[in-house]
Amino acid sequence: MTNQANGKPLVLVLEDEALIALNLQDELRDAGYRTAGPFTTCAAALGWLQTATPDTAILDVALKDGPCLEIALELGRREVPFLIYSGHHKDRQLLAEFDHVTWIEKPVPHSVLVQACHQLLVGCL
Amino acid sequence: MLNDKLLPAWKECDRLAALRSYRIIDTPPEPAFDDLVELAARACQTPIALISLIDERRQWFKAEVGLGVRETSLDRSICLSAMLLPGLTIVPDLTEDPRFADNPLVSGEPHLRFYAGAMLRTPDGVPLGALCVLDHVPRNLAEEQAFTLTMLARQVMSQLELRRAIAERDERLEASHQIEQRQSLLVRELHHRVKNTLATVQALVGATGRSTGSFDEFYHSFSKRITSLARTHNLLTEDYWQTAPLREIALNELKPFADSRLPRFMLLGPSVELSADLAVPVGMALHELTTNAVRYGALSNPTGYVRVQWAVDEVEGPRKLHLEWREVGGPQVKEPLHRGFGSTLLQRILPMQCNAEVEVQYAQEGLRFRMEAPLVEQRLVPTY
């Protein structure tokens, strides 16, 4: 929880639709979060993760450079709670290791996403 | 006239195609065929019986008893000659027949002396090979034996026909299975795209809401953005390859000014097709630029005009699209105090979505916008 020193948790956003990503970023900021990204590729998010760790993350499943599996595994290793926000149905084959992960199907009101982030953070206090 | 009768009614390439159609060459032994050569050997009381198929450069045995090999070269084939003669070919003593006396299988090991072969031919009359029996001593066949060998040859053909029918049915089943798979893949992809489009529309609601003051203003801007998005999607779905011509995307926005007495816009550039990844954001950008020009820029007075120019650069690496929007003759341009959705789209969304480099200049004589983006060559649909 080191990122929350200034009271604003840091949310990593991985989403390759720029319009959706920027809108999400605005909504999160309005709700009192700071955002890392938005990243449109797994490679960019992995690059950022080399030097930093978020408090939580919102991940799209299918990015232009492939599925978000590697990011999910890395966040899992660091015990960072995250949620999946995707147009796909929950795909158990893709993320068999993440059966317990919150999976939210696009689209939902952003208040639902913000609330889900809040619960992830409360859950790991 | 006699010569005409000797000319075969088929060509070798057609004969080989017919042979291939049975999908039999180089398949493992099968009891149905093994039983038939066994029956032939017993009925004719010979040590050797073969189902010999004449391939391009060899004779290959689908089944054999008493010879111990699966194929020989064509120069050792007796069946090759038998195949060309109608009905049953009987050679009582191979050493006394000038056609075969020099055959290494006759003059050397295993010293074959007697041959009887019944032609194997397709229902169209194309010969494939022979069912034959052989012996190490000169002899002949009784009438009953000759009759049995001919009947067994027909049985071999029936088995081959059956095999081919099954193989063809399996191939059709496999093809229809593939079609089903492709269809379910497309349905899944469609589902995903619809949800993503809804999420995009939701984001447009949010972005439009943030940059408009009244409900009327919101409704107006939002509907026009959705309409523009729909027009770009029309262009994309009209094309099998799911690409849209840049000129048409621009015309979608500027068409209302096409009937003006004075020219209000120019579209200058080669024919270039944009895939959805680029067409949608570029369409949205041109919509925002047009809306802005109508409200504040070169299309807000009677004399201004817009020049849209593009080029494709193929010098190094992936092809790049250069696009320039230039307004001339409108009211004097001032740097806006407040950045709306249009500016977010041009300066943040385009770079993120299309890896574009963009430049917006609020030049006094007219707004200038330039972008440079790699052309995505990836095709969303397979080439069937």
Nearest chain B residue to A40 by CA distance is B352
Nearest residue of chain A to residue B349 (CA atoms): A18
Model-level ipTM above the cut of 0.85: no
The residue of chain B nearest to residue A90, with distances taken between CA atoms, is: B192
**Domain ends where: B145, B168, B191?**
B168
- Does A22 contact B352 at a Cβ distance shorter than 8 Å? yes
B353/A105 CB distance under 8 A: no
Q: Which residues of chain B are at the A interface, by a Cβ-Cβ cutoff of 8 Å? A: 191-196, 198-204, 206-207, 210, 281, 344-345, 348-350, 352-353
Q: Report pLDDT digits (tens) over B300-314.
A: 888 899 999 999 987
Residues B28 and B103 grouped into a single domain: yes
Report which of residues B209 and B60 the model is more confident about.
B60
**Domain CATH code at residue B79:** 3.30.450.40
Q: Are residues B247 and B151 part of one domain?
A: no
The crossing angle, in degrees rounded to 10, of helices B143-211 and B31-44 is 170
Q: What angle do CA B123, B126, B128 make, to 5 degrees?
A: 105
Q: How far is A23 from chain B (nearest CA, A)?
A: 6
> Of B168, B195, B230, which one is at a domain's C-terminal end?
B168
B197, B226 contact by CB (below 8 A): no
Confidence check: pLDDT of B82 > 90: no
CB contact under 8 A, B202 and A23: yes
Q: What is the 3-state secondary structure (H, E, C) of chain A?
A: CHHHHHCCCEEEEECCCHHHHHHHHHHHHHCCCEEEEEECCHHHHHHHHCCCCCCEEEECCEECCEECHHHHHHHHHCCCCEEEEECCCCCCCCCHHHCCCEEEECCCCHHHHHHHHHHHHHHCC
End-to-end Cα spacing for chain B: 51
Interface of chain A against chain B, CB under 8 Å? 16-24, 26-27, 38, 40, 62, 87-88, 105-107, 110
Question: Among residues of chain B, what percentage have pLDDT more than 70?
Answer: 95
What is the chain A residue with the closest CA to B205? A23
Question: pLDDT higher for B317 or B328?
Answer: B328
Q: Edge-to-edge, what's the strand order for the sheet holding B48-54?
A: B71-73, B58-65, B48-54, B127-135, B114-121, B88-91
My answer on whether B13 and B114 are in the same domain is yes
Instruction: Compute the distance between CA of residue A122 and CA of residue A35 in angstroms, rounded to an integer.
Output: 18
Q: What b/e string do you get for A37-62 counting C-beta neighbours within 10 Å, with b at 16 or more?
A: bbbbebeebeebbeeebbbbbbbbbb
User: What torsion do the CA atoms of B278, B279, B284, B287 make, to the nearest 10 degrees?
Assistant: 130
Q: Of B337, B327, B257, B317, nearest to B292 (Cα)?
A: B327
Residue B348 in any domain: the answer is yes
| Per-residue confidence band for A95, with pLDDT thresholds at 50, 70 and 90 | low
pLDDT at B241: 67
Please report where in the chains the tokens 């995707």 appear, as a residue: A86
The model's pLDDT over A47-84, given as tens digits with 9 standing for 90+, comes to: 999 998 999 999 988 888 888 888 888 888 888 888 98
Residue of A nearest to B345 (CA): A19
Cβ atoms within 10 Å, residue A91: 14
**Same domain (yes/no): B160, B222:** no
Q: Are B360 and B368 in contact (CB under 8 A)?
A: yes
pLDDT in tens, B169-184: 999 999 999 999 888 8
Question: Rounded to whole angstroms, how far apart are CA atoms A46 and A18?
Answer: 18
Query: Does residue B337 belong to any structural domain of this protein?
Result: yes
Higher pLDDT, B323 or B82: B323
| Residue B200 covered by a domain | no
Chain pair A-B, CB pairs under 8 angstroms? 62
- Give a yes or no: residue B91 inside a domain: yes
Q: By C-alpha distance, which of A84, A109, A117, A110 is closest to A9?
A: A117
Where in chain B does DSSP place strands (E)? 48-54, 58-65, 71-73, 88-91, 114-121, 127-135, 243-245, 265-268, 273-275, 305-313, 320-328, 357-363, 366-374
How far apart (Å, rounded) are the C-alpha atoms in residues B159 and B136? 29
- Other beta carbons within 10 angstroms of residue A23's beta carbon come to 25
Which domain covers residue B57, as residue numbers? 2-168
Each residue's pLDDT tens digit, B333-381: 888 777 788 888 888 888 988 888 999 988 888 999 999 998 876 655 4
Total tally of structural domains belonging to chain B = 2
Q: Are residues B245 and B99 in the same domain?
A: no
In a domain, B306, yes or no: yes
- Tokens 């195609």 correspond to what residue? B17
Q: Check CB contact under 8 Å for A19 and B195.
A: no
Cα distance from A95 to chain B (closest Cα, Å)? 17
In a domain, B304, yes or no: yes
Q: Is it the case that residue A2 has pLDDT exceeding 70? A: no
My answer on whether B112 and B219 are in the same domain is no
Specify the CATH number for the domain of residue B357: 3.30.565.10
Which of A19, A86, A106, A111 to mutate against chain B (most B CBs within 10 Å)? A19
Neighboring chain B residues of A19 at a CB cutoff of 8 Å: 200, 203-204, 207, 345, 349, 353
Q: At residue B273, what is the residue type?
A: E
Domains of chain A (ranges; CATH) run 2-123 (3.40.50.2300)
